[in-house]
Amino acid sequence: MKFTFDGRPYEARRGDTLAAALIRNGVHLMGRSFKYHRPRGVLAAGAEEPNALVEIDRGGARRTPNLRATVVEVFDGMVARSQNRTPSLRFDVGAVNDLLAPFLPPGFYYKTFMWPIGAWAKLYEPLIRRAAGLGRAPDLPDTDRYTQRFAHCDVLVIGAGPAGLAAAAEAAAAGMRVMLCDEQAEFGGSLLSDPAAAAGLHETLAALFANPRATMLCRTTAFGIYGDNLVGLAERVTDHLPDPDPALPRERLWQVRAKRIVVAAGAIERPLVFPGNDRPGIMLGDAARIFATRYGANPGRNAVVVTACDTGADVARDLAASGVRIARVIDLREGFRVTGTSGRLRVSFIGIERGGAREKIPCDLVAMCGGWTPSIHLYSQARGKPRFDAALGAFVPDTEVSNLICVGACAGDMPGAYRAGIAPVSSEGRAFVDFQNDVTAKDLELATREGFRSIEHVKRYTTTGMATDQGKTSNINALGIVAGALGATIPEIGLTTFRTPYTPVTFGTLAGHSRGDLFDPVRTTPMHQLAVAAGAVFEDVGTWKRARYFPRAAEDMHMAVARECRMVRDSVGMFDATTLGEIEVVGADAAEFMNRVYINAWTRLAPGRCRYGVMLGENGFVMDDGVVGRLAPDRFHVTTTTGGAARVLAAMEDYRQTEWPELRVWLTSVSEQWAVIAVQGPRAREALLPLVDGLDISAAVMPHMSVVEGTFLGIEMRLFRVSFSGEMGFEVNVPADYGHAAWEAISARVGACQGGLYGTEAMHVLRAEKGFIIVGQETDGTATPDDVGLAWAIGKAKPDFIGKRSLTRSGMSGPRRQLVGLRTDDPATVLEEGAQITATTDDNRPLGHVTSAYGGATVGHSIALAMIESGRDRLGATLQVRMPGRAIAVRVTAPVFYDPEGARLDA
Amino acid sequence: MDRFSLARLLRQGFSGHSGWGAQWRAPEAPLAAYDVVIVGGGGHGLATAYYLAREHNIRRVAVIERGWIGGGNTGRNTTIIRSNYLMPESAGLYDHSMKLWRTLSRELNYNVMYSPRGVMMLAHNVHDVQVSMRHIHANRLAGVDNEWLTPAQAKAFCPPLNIGGDLRYPVLGAALQRRGGTARHDAVAWGFARAASALGVDIIQNCAVTGLARDAAGAISGVETTRGNIATRKVGVVAAGHTSVVMGMAGVRLPLESYPLQALVSEPVKPAFPCVVMSNTIHAYISQSDKGEMVIGAGTDAYVSYSQTGGLHIATQTLDAICELVPQFRRLRMLRNWGGIVDLSPDRSPILSKTDVPGLYVNCGWGTGGFKATPGSGNLFAHTVAHDEPHPINAPFSLARFDTGRLIDEAAAAAVAH
Amino acid sequence: MKLIPCPICGERAEIEFAYGGQAGLVRPPPTATEAAWGAYLYSRENPKGALRERWRHIHGCGRFFNLTRDTVTDKFIP
């Protein structure tokens, strides 16, 4: 396989990670550190890698920064680039930071850049921001797909090393539904770098793959444990393929609900902290062994192994078996100290000292064996409390977590020879602890001198453990250094929180299919396609698409709305009102229930009649409104606002179930069952008459605010005589499946009566001319019924209703904002909605604001509604609408501009 | 207090930084008595202590912190600063804070990295536009900057923003407050701690309050802690999500509920997002930290909890929204996800108030938006504690409003999250 | 995402439920004092520990029910 790194071509073998392939090609310089831009090679061989971060560019939008070269699998034709360097990895001008390092201690930015005021954001911050960051963010919208799956299992085993495989095999043999996931491309964990284990591994895996009750997920990271054993898994599906099937997603999120979780996440080796421990060619012993044995990519020819435990001997043995010359094994337990290293882009010497005797050993590889840290991240996320194991030099699981166990190395279960304690630190010079963020042992000591004593403070002040590896290789060493500096024990210093995710998870994986129309369900009415065909411009109202207006050729919104309004006033218009919420309130106590929920009195509303209902919250403020028809003594057809439908039903159901369970009443949402077509205008009756199968809809039989059940061209119908336009009006309710047909039939009749379609914008203008409020526009959650002129609707004799007590709270008295109309001197001036109103131009105290403002299509002048402090006492007064740089004088009027007597409603 | 400056940084650079001392004094245990005890060592509590010492000359002050200072919501929030609130009371409160932010680094001699890079709040439907315009007009009249941007202007101000037709909820425009921005959260806590300590304030960490003592008349007489009892006549409780617990020790029940609130960051990338963008309609809040991480705020979980962890579905919903607004960020990766506990009041406005218990004061209810108010909140609460009387700016934010119904209902009025 | 035991439907995922806040609040009559009414509207226990609370299986059977939960561990207490 061929690939390029920074434009240079290389060859790789199947199964190589990018790091392994580069090492085999003799490339050790793979990245630059975050702060000092120091040249870096790999430290590790897995997901804990802090240094070798690369960008993989698959062309176009498919460019991904900050990937670990030790995790990225090479495919044929891969294009990989280094990051955070200008102009090249070998010669990076950012390395000037390294020369300035003496002046850039931890937190240096808190101590300066304060002069002059404002210069931080204008001058210093842009410089710092440019220097910071790692890779480049993608700059084109991602074209890949991501999917999500939910799964249930008896046992989820996390990690397919020896312990995890054994657990999975045992559970599978017992007939359980098993899921086994591993973050690597192959199952086996540490067995993969042990040739002697190959045969046994093959056999175990073959049995698991053959078991239909076992789900095997490689390239799948368990990144977090959430409530009640829900585990998040991120599966990398196609990133390793040269030419993936477009039907496959790039990644897949699994949300697995597991009866039991077995964490077999293994352990991560710790680096040693000594001066110059960060040069390319200095890596973890286990990583060197993995590159040599598993990948056949010897990370050096001439190695020095520095160790604090018996791991070093094993590493030296395996490296030697792979053909690496072992120049020396330096066992720190024998009193040695590392004094430093040299080599600009790769290590060339290591200096050691014992008993005053110093020595420089030439080498091109330094393998560090600082002991092992169990990966207790998931255990800790599941709220297990670990304890410190001094012999191991790490935290291990302690308290029990229900339905979760840790097995193998992550449980601290490892050979005694691998137990190191925390290795001694040589902190003179620059001994790195957090490699990516360039935090040295001295930095940590300085932080403690400056009073940062909690490990969380030290972490935040120095940024140790906050890099993209989240301190997997650095946290224990940092704890040891801070504890040493403070003369405290590690348990006293505490452990930083293990936060999700274990390794970074792609945003797209977490978002999944949720984009565009799948971001939130789009709700459309049964007549939607007809509105589309009629050229409607839509607006989003909640999750609904509503037709806002129907422009004809060359019409803008203003012209179209003006025409639609005139049409309704002059002849007839039809409007899709299906989105309103509809609830049937049924039962012997239905009227009593309505009495308690709405401010109105319902007992004496006769069947066949309608009433405008207002609902409050318990805080006394208007929550919703709508027309309610009484179909029978025990049956109400309630309508709500479009946006309030779900909220109103939930509130009603709450009171029905928990407050008044004794009432015999049932609530059913019928919003989806009815298509609702409003037919409004002086010719509305004429338009509908031929369609209602002989029903008498004359004013005498069917006056304003009445409801009747009948048929519409043979279809079941509930016909309401209601108006939100100020004209004679009907609302035809037919079963939703017939909405399309009914719309077409009405449309033909309306057309014959010189009418047509109108949208929500015209509806708003027409109702504003009548002074009808819209909940959420005139009201804002702080308006009482009286504030918006609806005190008349309150059933005064009722003992109680939702919100009644709040209306008499002391805070409700005093001057309140009240609904009024506004007129401008110039009838063409249209006010701006939201504009603030004051008494005079000298007084900036707002008295209220414009809630609705329109050109006023049919009244001959612009109109506005406003909520004004003590507005009803100000009728006739002149106030000022305050606009940028000017004020518009307005006269306060009653809020009804059109047909104040309501004669047209009764036509 | 040793002054911080570039010159000193350079001098220390030549001497191996051996001359830096502790940024604040850290007494192991409190004294036997203080004039004022502040319960809660977050930004608001430390700021209160600082202003008590600085502006009211009350220097025998202790800040009692259960864990480590700044470890609660101060260190867990998404650091958005703005003052474009609708209600005059709210705009007054937050703008008071905004004025302090401007000079806070100099005031504290600690660079809190206040970065007024602009906060843009998106409108996605006609109702949003109406609400935005009402805010803009109200703010302008009150002297608070806030301006309307068309979608194209919003895109020009924030080039990564998607304003295309493929959005489920299109961007119809945005309200921009140019003075809005971000600051470095930890630095705010540390800066106030250092400055307060220099004025004599004792900051006691790892010290939990176990009781509030009252005298025969019912007035506050002391604070019981895990590190000993303290005699004091004045206690200011500034304990965010734990306020109900602490106030319960004095038998005071508050109109508060504590909810988990999540946030997350991406891996760091080079500068790619120049400002703060908020969308209340689709619940997305994003900015880029100086380190390069995309800092993203999520919503609260559905139920009362002190667990500091939230559900995965909350984080995924947030990223749904981010990937809608900035689809090129779909390939970025979530690096850290965490939770805090926020104390929500019924009207989503804070409570800075005296209580019925003489000598007991409370500063709470900041919900999801307290960071931006840190200096102003401390400043006004210090006034309230020092004078036993609220400052005119925070007088409306009393406890009594929940009985009278005179709420400051920013959320109801605007359907706007903080 | 928690599992919540609905008395009708059994354990279901949290996203099927609506939270109903503290249980057992008694709605005072309209003659209640201002303080009593204010307490009903707004005063809450908000305990760090056991909380008796309401849930509704809104995307299932629709039933309201009460549970006790430890607000520190989020575990339901039988």
Question: Which parts of chain B register pLDDT below 50?
Answer: 415-418
CB atoms B406 and A811 under 8 Å: yes
| Residue B69 included in any domain | yes
CB atoms B307 and C73 under 8 Å: yes
CATH number of the domain enclosing B315: 3.30.9.10
Convert B195-210 to b/e letters by CB count within 10 Å (16 or more is b): bbbbbebbbbbebebe
| Residue B107 included in any domain | no
| Residues B171 and B267 occupy one common structural domain | yes
* Residue carrying structure tokens 């308290």: A399
Quote the pLDDT of residue B416.
38
| A385-417 residue pLDDT tens | 999 999 999 999 999 999 999 999 999 998 887
Give me the percent of chain A exceeding a pLDDT of 90: 94
| Residues B249 and B358 occupy one common structural domain | yes
C15 touches chain A (CB under 8 A): no
CB atoms C64 and A654 under 8 Å: yes
CB atoms B255 and C48 under 8 Å: no
Quote the pLDDT of residue B417.
35
The answer to whether A275 and A431 have CB atoms below 8 angstroms apart is: yes
| A181-217 residue pLDDT tens | 999 999 999 999 988 999 999 999 999 999 999 999 9
The answer to whether A147 and A249 have CB atoms below 8 angstroms apart is: yes
Instruction: Tell me the pLDDT band of C27, cut-offs 50, 70 and 90.
Output: very high
Task: Give the chain C residue whose CA is nearest to the CA of A807.
Answer: C30
| Residue B373 included in any domain | yes
Q: How far apart are the C-alpha atoms of A345 and A366, rounded to whole Å?
A: 14
A882 touches chain B (CB under 8 A): yes
| Residues B22 and B170 occupy one common structural domain | no
Quote the pLDDT of residue B414.
57
Most C CBs within 10 A among A805, A808, A809, A812, hence the mutation to make, goes to A805
Question: Which parts of chain A register pLDDT below 70?
Answer: none
Q: How far apart are the C-alpha atoms of A269 and A312, rounded to whole Å?
A: 11
User: Which of A137, A144, A884 has its CB closest to that of B140?
Assistant: A884
| Residues B242 and B358 occupy one common structural domain | yes
User: Which of B306, B309, B313 has its CB closest to that of C15?
Assistant: B313
A799 touches chain C (CB under 8 A): yes
Sequence-distant (≥ 6) Cβ neighbours of residue A749 within 8 angstroms:
A687, A688, A690, A691
CB atoms B272 and A66 under 8 Å: no
Most A CBs within 10 A among C4, C19, C41, C52, hence the mutation to make, goes to C41
How distant, in Å, are the alpha carbons of A366, A884, B2, B32 from that of B27? 45, 55, 19, 13
Helix axes B88-108, B374-387, angle to 10 degrees: 100
Most distant CA atoms of chain C, gap in Å: 42
How distant, in Å, are the alpha carbons of A572, A734, A886, B157, B177 from that of A681? 4, 20, 39, 47, 45
The answer to whether B169 and A539 have CB atoms below 8 angstroms apart is: no
Provide, as residue numbers in chain B, all residues whose Cβ is less than 8 Å from the Cβ of A34: 268
Quote the pLDDT of residue A22.
98
Quote the pLDDT of residue B418.
33
Task: Give the chain C residue whose CA is nearest to the CA of A383.
Answer: C73
Q: How far apart are the C-alpha atoms of A842 and A44, rounded to whole Å?
A: 70
| Residues B171 and B281 occupy one common structural domain | yes
Query: A78-82 and A53-57 as β-strands: parallel, antiparallel, unpaired?
Result: antiparallel
Provide, as residue numbers in chain A, all residues whose Cβ is less than 8 Å from the Cβ of C1: 226-228, 230, 255
Sequence-distant (≥ 6) Cβ neighbours of residue A661 within 8 angstroms:
none
Quote the pLDDT of residue C1.
81
- In total, the C-beta contacts within 8 angstroms joining chain B to chain C are 69
Final residue belonging to a domain, choices B344, B377, B395:
B344
Which residue from B37, B109, B323 is spatially nearest to A518, judged by alpha carbons?
B323
Sequence-distant (≥ 6) Cβ neighbours of residue A170 within 8 angstroms:
none
Task: Give the chain B residue whose CA is nearest to the CA of C49.
Answer: B306
| Residue B96 included in any domain | no
Quote the pLDDT of residue A115.
83
Query: Chain B: nearest CA to C3, how far in angstroms?
Result: 11
Beta strand residue intervals within B28-133, DSSP E? 36-39, 61-64, 80-81, 119-123
Q: How far apart are the first and last CA of chain A?
A: 84
CATH number of the domain enclosing B29: 3.50.50.60
CATH number of the domain enclosing C62: 3.30.2270.10
| A594-625 residue pLDDT tens | 999 999 999 999 999 999 999 999 999 999 99
The beta-carbon contacts of A481-487 under 8 Å, at least 24 apart in sequence, are: A481/A273, A481/A425, A481/A427, A481/A433, A481/A441, A481/A444, A481/A445, A482/A444, A482/A447, A482/A448, A482/A455, A482/A458, A484/A425, A485/A444, A485/A445, A485/A448, A485/A449, A486/A448, A486/A453
Provide, as residue numbers in chain A, all residues whose Cβ is less than 8 Å from the Cβ of B138: 834, 836, 846, 849
Total domains in the fold of chain B? 2
| Residues B200 and B246 occupy one common structural domain | yes
| Residues B261 and B336 occupy one common structural domain | yes
> Position A484: which residue type?
G
Total domains in the fold of chain C? 1
Convert C60-73 to b/e letters by CB count within 10 Å (16 or more is b): eebebbebebbbee
Other Cβ atoms within 10 Å of A487 Cβ, number: 8
Q: How far apart are the C-alpha atoms of B376 and B360, rounded to whole Å?
A: 20
A696 touches chain C (CB under 8 A): no
Residue A547, phi then psi, degrees to nearest 5: -70, 120
CB atoms A810 and C34 under 8 Å: yes
DSSP 8-state code for residue B366: B
| Residues B237 and B353 occupy one common structural domain | yes
| A25-50 residue pLDDT tens | 999 999 999 999 999 999 999 999 99
The answer to whether A109 and A100 have CB atoms below 8 angstroms apart is: no
Which residue from A875, A767, A878, A889 is spatially nearest to A835, judged by alpha carbons?
A889
Q: What residues make up the domain containing C62?
A: 3-77
| Residue B92 included in any domain | no
Quote the pLDDT of residue A327.
98
Provide, as residue numbers in chain A, all residues whose Cβ is less than 8 Å from the Cβ of B131: 834
| Residues B9 and B156 occupy one common structural domain | no
Q: How far apart are the C-alpha atoms of B130 and A549, rounded to whole Å?
A: 18
Name B237's bridge partners: B39, B362
Q: What residues make up the domain containing B31?
A: 3-76+185-255+347-414
Final residue belonging to a domain, choices B317, B344, B371:
B344
C18 touches chain B (CB under 8 A): yes
Question: Token pair of B342, please?
Answer: 């926020």
Computed over its alpha carbons, how large is the radius of gyration of chain A?
37
Q: How far apart are the C-alpha atoms of A481 and A582, rounded to whole Å?
A: 67
User: Which of A108, A453, A540 has its CB closest to that of B125?
Assistant: A540
Helical spans, DSSP H, in A135-233: 162-173, 198-210
CA B140 vs. chain centroid, Å, equals: 24
Task: Give the chain B residue whose CA is nearest to the CA of A119.
Answer: B115
B16 touches chain C (CB under 8 A): no
| Residues B332 and B352 occupy one common structural domain | no
| Residues B264 and B340 occupy one common structural domain | yes
Provide, as residue numbers in chain B, all residues whose Cβ is less than 8 Å from the Cβ of C43: 253-255, 402
Final residue belonging to a domain, choices B324, B344, B364:
B344
